[in-house]
Amino acid sequence: MARTSLSRPTIADVAQAAGVSKSTVSRVLMGNLAYMRDDTRQRVEQAITALNYSPSSVARSLVTKRTHTVGLLVSDVGNPFYPEVIHSVEDVALAHGYDVFLCNTNYNPERGLQILRSLIAKQVDGVMIMSSSMSDEWVIELVKQEVPTVVLDWQISHLAGEVSTIKVDFETGVREAAAHLIELGHRRFAHISGPLNMRTSLLRRDAFLKALADFNVDPAAVVIIEGDLRIESGRKALNQLMALNPRPTAVFTANDMMALGLIWAAREVGLQIPRDLSVVGLDNIRLAAEINPPLTTIALPQSEIGRLAMESLLELFDRRKNAQEDGLALQVDTHLVIRNSTCQPGSTVDN
């Protein structure tokens, strides 16, 4: 009769200890105290603390169909773009009583799918996808299983409306960057892109070319070097730049990591940044402000992205409850943060 310590106490144990029924215990658990006598509530509460009882979310989920858990898929937590967005996702999640199941796909679509299926089996209430190297299959699976989903920077026409999307509008920031460089007097440009099989790499490159074209710079004259988004490839890119004649006076890298590599490599060969070469990054990672010279870069609103993602998931939960249509399409802006890695070509003056 008495509970052994072999297993954790259940609601029945609490009920017995308090001399009430399970329903009553459940009611205080749920905060459903409308018509309850004060002393019974207290007896129940005492029993709960006495037994050190904590309800099983598993059992609860089985009946309520909700786990109060959401999945967040990222490519790699080591990527400095993520920490802030993760942080803000967690903040709003926690504030609404949700836990975040953070998963690395390691840039591996297979692994991502495996994780996804596992999350679905575990009945997460929703999923946020922020992995650049995702595959359409993921979303198809999610839609098939009717899991509320929001995905960052991804497009697929025939499923639009089924899921929510957050689009990062690179164009405004890139345009600002181009304008900034033009205004400083630059005319010869290079771009270090991400892997050109990634859609976002193309987007960024084309936005830059387009913006430049609007300032009457011939896109064909812009040197494009393909990188892989990592520091080392920024270094390599610089070497390629050095071989050019005439050399570009300004370079826009698809992310900040490559900008760092490029700047460091430049210094090692005796180039002065920004005097001999202006560089603009993208991401505005924390490090960008801490290096010398502090990096001029296009800032993404990481916190806003995280917040919006989780908020639209919550919104989706609501709609689902009301049997409404899914799928809102959101967009966030980018803007240029001017620091000291850009100046007039050949100038010795920090702008």
Give the interface size with DNA as a residue count (CB under 7 A): 28
Q: Which is nearer to DNA, 47 or 263 (CB)?
A: 47
String of contacts with DNA for each residue 11-30, x by CB under 7 A:
xx------xxxxxxxxx-xx
From the CB of 10, what's the least distance to DNA, in Å? 3
If contact means CB under 5 to 8 A according to the sort of partner, which of a copy of itself, DNA, none does residue 11 touch? DNA
Q: Could you give the C-alpha distances from 334 to 171, 202, 298, 304, in angstroms and in order?
A: 8, 17, 7, 11
From the CB of 102, what's the least distance to a copy of itself, in Å? 4
From the CB of 117, what's the least distance to DNA, in Å? 14
Closest CA to 186 of 196, 177, 173: 177
Q: Residue 182 has which token pair?
A: 């033009």
- Produce one character per residue of 79-102: b if its CB has 16 or more CB atoms within 10 Å, e if not: bbbbebbbebbbebbeeeebebbb
From the CB of 13, what's the least distance to DNA, in Å? 7
* Residue 145 interacting with DNA (CB under 7 A): no
Q: Which residues bind a copy of itself (CB under 8 A)?
A: 8, 52, 54-59, 61-62, 67, 69, 76-78, 80, 82-84, 86-87, 90, 94, 99-104, 106, 111, 114-115, 117-123, 144-146, 231-232, 260-261, 264, 267-268, 286-287, 290-292
**List of E strands, the chain:** 69-74, 99-104, 126-130, 149-152, 164-169, 189-193, 223-226, 250-253, 278-283, 296-299, 329-333, 335-337
String of contacts with DNA for each residue 30-69, x by CB under 7 A:
x----xxx--xx-------------xx--xx-xxx-----
Q: Could you give the C-alpha distances from 184 to 95, 140, 179, 181, 346, in angstroms and in order?
A: 46, 47, 9, 5, 11
Q: Which is nearer to a copy of itself, 85 or 280 (CB)?
A: 85
| Residue 327, SS3 per DSSP | coil
> What's the length of the chain?
351
Q: Which is nearer to DNA, 12 or 329 (CB)?
A: 12
Which amino acid is it at 344? Q
- Residue 61, classified by CB atoms within 10 Å of its CB into exposed (0-12), middle (13-18) or buried (19+), is middle
From the CB of 62, what's the least distance to DNA, in Å? 4
Which amino acid is it at 71? G
From the CB of 264, what's the least distance to DNA, in Å? 54
> For residues 101 and 157, is the Cβ–Cβ distance under 8 A?
no
If contact means CB under 5 to 8 A according to the sort of partner, which of DNA, a copy of itself, none does residue 115 touch? a copy of itself
- Output helix, strand, coil percentages for the chain, rounded to the nearest 5: 45, 15, 35
Q: Which is nearer to a copy of itself, 72 or 225 (CB)?
A: 72
Q: Which is nearer to a copy of itself, 107 or 215 (CB)?
A: 107
Task: Using CB under 7 A, list all residues that contact DNA.
Answer: 7-8, 10-12, 19-27, 29-30, 35-37, 40-41, 55-56, 59-60, 62-64
